[in-house]
Amino acid sequence: MPACVQAQTYIPESAETVLATLPDTDPSLTDDIRRLQQAVAEQPDSVELRVRLAEHHIALYRQTDDPRYNGYAQAAIAPWREDVDAPTRVLLIRAHLNQQRHAFALARADLQLALERDPRNAQAWLALSVVERVSGRLANAHKACAALLTLTETLVSGTCLADIASLAGKAPEAFATLDRLLQAESVDSADHLRRWALTIQGEVAWRLGEPELALQAFEGGLALAEANEQFDGYLLSAWADFMLEQGRAQAVDRRLEPYDQSDALLLRRAIAAKRINHPNAGAMADTLRRRFAASQRRGDDVHLREQARFALDIDNKPSEALWLAQRNWAMQKEPADVLLVLRAALAFNPAAADPVVAFVSETGLQDVRVQTLLERLGDTDAAA
Amino acid sequence: MNRMLFVLVGLLACGGVHAHKPSDSYLNLSLSGQTVVGRWDIALRDLELAVGLDADGNRRITWGEVQRQRNAITSHALSHLQLTMGDQTCALEADGLQITDHTDGAYAAIGITGRCPQFNPQLTIRYDLLFPRDAQHRGLLRLDRQGRVESAVFSPARRSLAFDLGETRPLRVAWQYLQEGLWHVWIGFDHLLFLAGLLLPIVVRREQGRFVPAENAGTATREVIRIVTSFTLAHFAALSLATLGWIDLPSRWVEAAVALTIVFAAINNIVPVVYRRLWLVAFAFGLIHGAGYASVLSDLGLPAMALALSLFAFNLGVEGAQIAVAAVFLPVAYSLRRHRLYQYGVLIPGSLLVAFVGMVWFIERAANQTLMPW
């Protein structure tokens, strides 16, 4: 078992040898954090100080994508670990942390509690829509987005609603809505909101079988991220998946090279590397294998989607991929998860696709890739 | 609105983009009796948080900076790890600090040595590194108990793990000891040799310079079983007493005495001192052999109940192996008992050989010298 093999120890060559580089974070944020930590140490009972400290850490997490900051945030709100009487702001932080570790039911419970107390809390509605969307509960997700209509600017509520509608059989309408929102409303909107809308639009266009429109939206979003020097892992992953499907592995390898720290992005790059016979393809796959093993030793389940994809696209182990994809399906039901089960089932055991096929017909998901796979599954049925 | 924006960006990361790795430390411990050795790998990122490494604040941690903080690192680490056996705390010391690489970067590898004041199967390990600062930190423990490896994870909700070092499925342990017993006879050359010394004259014994063959197979068989079983019973008794600590003989002299019994048994075949009731001799010798083997089992640190079962199983194995050897030997020897070939070609030279090897062993063990390679 590779996890049990102890790595070699060594003594670095010289005292000047650099062993680690600390993340380059916003200095004003780190200064604030230092002050807040001191203040919390002096007044450990202050809700306000602890909440602000946690929120600052989560802000750092968003800047860097480094999960350690989630751990620091969780430590800051440790007094309310499972407390149902926790202040509303604590509930929102806790929901974020639970969602990050795919404990969607816990996240949902905290958000519902927060909304019972404060039905006009836009942040809670938006977070709830995301949790419900991931869980495949599209009607609930739609309700949460609808609640945003009177609470936020139209770009936010509109993007939220269009996204859910696109998954529920109204993809062309959703694309048109997003187009309208981006043209009319977003001129004054913050760049990261427009980036979000563009990401969703790219995904919808891709599912509709419009690669040019998809590429245009993705590139638009990436340009905004680059202009603001902001990292957007979700957008990069979506773009990379799209490009891989378009047969443009070279471009994926090039653009993702700076982000090997991210498991999801390294996975895309490793798939690209394999396709173009990159000399480091094997090394990338090994790094991923070791990271999955390390995560498993911790007892985390957050990599199932990536592991299933890895088993399918790198290891060529359809039986393992199917097992992982099914376990992932029990937690996450987004189009990417639909695709994984269908692909693995088609490669190993077509009958295993049944629950996912039922989900697709219930929700009315429109996705050209899903459609192709369903047709192939139909062929195997007919053959059998 | 500000807080609103704040949540949006992160929500996008929900799709499973889990960059980097959460904080883990790797604690590998090996336990043998009261002695602990091991290695603890802690990420430099985490040590920066816990004790501060980046002295010049340039966000780069160099080997020099790590070395300067060596004492702070080891004392911080060791003050967040505690091992207890029963209610007594084991003394832990840091034994060197090097660097090692995990999937997410460089870690300090701290060597650990320790000793517990007294062996007790109730082992508790307490771990609270970093938890007040990072609630998602995990301590990944790998505990090696003489080849039996267990993995466990420390978390803020689980800062203490208890291990019952005696706790195992009793039947599996018993089976293991039964095999040990069989194996002990098979590879324990002295055991086989002694057995040979006792078995050779079963089918034909010397009496006043003449060879007297056994009257019938039944007598010979009963005699074999009596000898083998009385030996095992004595072996069991002595082994139990020694393992439970009720008798404590210096092992070197017991070992030497074991060798002497082999010499005696062999000489007795040629120039008999004891004719009848050989089983009594076997019983006496079994006591000595049992005491000699006790050190092996007492090192394993088993709780009383498991110990009793293990001892029983072990001796059952010994008995089984001896019966098996005798079962192969007896029919052949019995059919040859009247032949001069057996009497002069096997019994006498065999006994001489056994006596010679036993003598060499005696000298080796008494003088603590190595004469033969086994």
Instruction: Reply yes or no on whether the pLDDT at B294 is more than 70.
Output: no
Q: How close, in Å, is residue A361 to chain B by CA atoms? A: 23
Q: Which residue of B has its CA nearest to A100?
A: B14
Q: Which of B10, B102, B133 sits opposite A7 (nearest CB)?
A: B102
Q: Are residues B337 and B283 in the same domain?
A: yes
Q: Which residue of B has its CA nearest to A304?
A: B16
Q: Are residues B105 and B245 in the same domain?
A: no
Q: How close, in Å, is residue A75 to chain B by CA atoms? A: 5
- A96/B45 CB distance under 8 A: no
Domain boundary among B169, B201, B224: B169
- B19/A259 CB distance under 8 A: yes
Contact residues, chain A, for B110 at CB < 8 Å: none
Give the distance between the most distant pair of CA atoms in chain B. Answer: 114
Contact residues, chain A, for B98 at CB < 8 Å: 9-11
The gap between the terminal CA atoms of chain B, to the nearest Å, is: 83
Instruction: Reply yes or no on whether the pLDDT at B357 is more than 50.
Output: yes
Q: Are residues B247 and B284 in the same domain?
A: yes
On whether the CB atoms of residues A310 and A292 are closer than 8 A, the answer is yes
pLDDT at B17: 35
Nearest Cα to B296, choosing from B337, B256, B254, B331? Answer: B254
Q: How close, in Å, is residue A347 to chain B by CA atoms? A: 24
- The boundaries of the domain holding residue B287 are 2-19+188-367
Nearest-angstrom CA–CA distance, A290 and A300:
14
Nearest-angstrom CA–CA distance, B282 and B259:
14
Q: Kindly provide the b/e burial profile for residues B327-360, where b requires at least 16 CB atoms within 10 angstroms of the residue's own CB.
A: eebbeebbebbeeeebbeebbbebbeebbebbbe
Residue B248 gets the label, from left (phi > 0), alpha (psi -120 to 50) or beta, of beta
pLDDT at A134: 96
pTM of the model: 0.69
Q: Which residue has the higher pLDDT, B153 or B175?
A: B153
Average pLDDT over every residue of B25-51: 93
Is B374 within the bounds of a domain?
no
Q: Which residues contact B64 (CB under 8 A, 6 or more apart)?
A: A14, A15, A16
Q: Are residues B271 and B346 in the same domain?
A: yes
* B19 in contact with A, Cβ within 8 Å: yes
Pairs from A371-376 (Cβ < 8 Å, separation ≥ 24): A373/A339, A373/A342, A373/A343, A373/A346, A374/A342, A376/A346
Can you spell out the DSSP letters for B186-234? HH-HHHHHHHHHHHGGGSEEEETTEEEE-S-HHHHHHHHHHHHHHHHHH
- With cut-offs at 50, 70 and 90, classify the pLDDT of residue A327: very high
- B14/A127 CB distance under 8 A: no
Cα dihedral sign, B287-B292-B295-B296: negative
Q: Comparing A199-208, A261-270, A334-343, which segment has the lowest mean pLDDT?
A: A261-270
Q: How close, in Å, is residue B277 to chain A by CA atoms? A: 57
* Residue B156, phi then psi, degrees to nearest 5: -55, -30
* B20 in contact with A, Cβ within 8 Å: yes
- A75/B134 CB distance under 8 A: yes
Contact residues, chain A, for B104 at CB < 8 Å: 261, 291, 294
For chain A, give the percent of residues with pLDDT over 90. Answer: 79
pLDDT at B125: 96
pLDDT tens digits for range A17-72: 999 988 877 778 888 999 999 999 999 999 999 999 999 999 888 877 788 999 99
On whether the CB atoms of residues A253 and A273 are closer than 8 A, the answer is yes
Q: Which of A24, A55, A75 sits opposite B133 (nearest CB)?
A: A75
Q: Which of B12, B48, B153 sits opposite A22 (nearest CB)?
A: B48
Q: Comparing A146-155, B29-38, B361-370, which segment has the lowest mean pLDDT?
A: B361-370
Residue boundaries of the structural domains of chain A: 153-230, 307-384
pLDDT tens digits for range B140-168: 999 988 767 788 899 999 999 999 887 55
Residues 91-110 of B with CB under 8 A from A: 98-106, 109
* A295 in contact with B, Cβ within 8 Å: yes
Mutation site for B-interface testing, chosen from A8, A17, A22 by largest number of B Cβ within 10 Å: A22
pLDDT tens digits for range B298-354: 544 455 556 667 777 878 887 888 888 888 888 888 888 788 888 788 888 888 888
Is B176 within the bounds of a domain?
no
Residue B92 gets the label, from left (phi > 0), alpha (psi -120 to 50) or beta, of beta
Helix (H, G, I), strand (E, B) or coil at A121: coil
Q: Which residue of B has its CA nearest to A68?
A: B22
- B21/A294 CB distance under 8 A: yes
Cα dihedral sign, A330-A336-A340-A342: positive
- With cut-offs at 50, 70 and 90, classify the pLDDT of residue B222: confident
**Average pLDDT value for chain B:** 80
Q: Which residue has the higher pLDDT, B4 or B24?
A: B24
pLDDT at B170: 64
Size of interface A-B (CB pairs under 8 A): 215
- A9/B133 CB distance under 8 A: no
- Written as one letter, the residue type at A91 is L
Question: How many residues in total does chain A contain?
Answer: 384
Q: Kindly provide the b/e burial profile for residues A187-207, where b requires at least 16 CB atoms within 10 angstroms of the residue's own CB.
A: eebbebbbbbbbbbbbbbbbb
* A277 in contact with B, Cβ within 8 Å: no
Residues 126-155 of A with CB under 8 A from B: 126-127, 130, 134, 152
- With cut-offs at 50, 70 and 90, classify the pLDDT of residue B99: very high
pLDDT at A306: 95
Instruction: Reply yes or no on whether the pLDDT at B9 is more than 60.
Output: no
Nearest Cα to B331, choosing from B178, B224, B259? Answer: B224
Q: How close, in Å, is residue A76 to chain B by CA atoms? A: 8
Domain boundary among B111, B137, B169: B169
Contact residues, chain A, for B63 at CB < 8 Å: 11-17, 19
Contact residues, chain A, for B11 at CB < 8 Å: 126-127, 130
- B100/A192 CB distance under 8 A: no
Residue B83, beta-bridge partner list: B125
Q: Are residues B223 and B323 in the same domain?
A: yes
Residues 143-202 of B with CB under 8 A from A: 149, 151, 153, 156
Is B181 within the bounds of a domain?
no
- B66/A152 CB distance under 8 A: no
- B54/A22 CB distance under 8 A: yes
- B135/A9 CB distance under 8 A: no
pLDDT at B297: 56
Is B94 within the bounds of a domain?
yes
pLDDT at B188: 66
Q: Comparing A74-88, A211-225, A370-384, B170-184, which segment has the lowest mean pLDDT?
A: B170-184
- A20/B142 CB distance under 8 A: no
Residue A218 gets the label, from left (phi > 0), alpha (psi -120 to 50) or beta, of alpha
Q: Which of A235, A237, A290 sits opposite B103 (nearest CB)?
A: A290
Residue A62 CA, distance from chain mean position:
12
On whether the CB atoms of residues A167 and A335 are closer than 8 A, the answer is yes
Q: Comparing A248-262, A355-369, B122-136, B221-235, which segment has the lowest mean pLDDT?
A: B221-235
Residue A133 CA, distance from chain mean position:
12
Nearest-angstrom CA–CA distance, A234 and B78:
40
Is B290 within the bounds of a domain?
yes
- With cut-offs at 50, 70 and 90, classify the pLDDT of residue A201: very high
Is B373 within the bounds of a domain?
no
Mutation site for B-interface testing, chosen from A14, A21, A228 by largest number of B Cβ within 10 Å: A21
Is B43 within the bounds of a domain?
yes
Is B174 within the bounds of a domain?
no
* B17 in contact with A, Cβ within 8 Å: yes
Q: How close, in Å, is residue B145 to chain A by CA atoms? A: 14
CATH 1.25.40.10 fits A153-230, yes or no: yes
